[in-house]
Amino acid sequence: MTSQATTQRPTLRSQRVNQITNEPHAKLDALVKAHAPFDTQASFARFVVAQYLFQAELVSLYNDAALTAIIPDLPARCRAEAAKADLADLDTSVPAPVPGAVDNPTQAQALGWLFVSEGSKLGAAFLIKRAVGLGLSETFGARHLGEPAGGRAEGWKSFVRTLDSLELSPQEEAELDKGALEAFNRFTVLLEQAYANSAELA
């Protein structure tokens, strides 16, 4: 029974996580488009607020010693400071933390969160082009969307190779999936919060 279940799963762990997060990913993409972050700099600034909140919540994961032992360049991958600098460029205050941040996840669960955060760098390749239309760039206002050192594709491939090579128990596999789903749901909450606050300020 176990072997049959195994054969029905995607070959690679990363492929499985992509599959199970397909629905929340699609919903989040639709929500981002609905808020039209590339219509004006003011709207884009709200998008950066959400990005900053999300990245700030993951700082402890990016700097976790046990996770860095698995992914040596993990601390350098964090984009919280870049997003914070973008907020300053856009004359937008650093937002207060939103209750409900990830708190003391298991290592496997944390890897699920990081999978989503790192994967979003691929989509950022398209977003940065839209941001340029607002007069922004990788050095002003849209730093957090900039290309990582070594390139987006190689950075992602390196992360996925490591993730796919780990020996995880069935429990840890479930925790990894849970973390990835939680990450998409959390960013959705933060995005709604960022634009709701914008409406209140208007």
What residue spans define the domains of the chain? 37-201
Of the candidates 104, 21, 113, 124, the residue with the CA atom closest to the CA atom of residue 74: 113
Q: Domain 37-201 is in which class?
A: mainly alpha
Distance in angstroms (rounded) separating the CA atoms of residues 51 and 194: 9
Q: What is the pLDDT of residues 116-129, one digit of tens each?
A: 999 999 999 999 99
- Residue 6's pLDDT is 46
Return the pLDDT at 200.
Answer: 55
Interatomic CA distance for residues 53 and 102, integer angstroms: 12
The stretch 136-152 carries a mean pLDDT of 94
pLDDT at 202: 45
pTM of the model: 0.92
Distance CA 92, CA 86 (A): 9
Query: Mean pLDDT over residues 175-186, rounded?
Result: 98
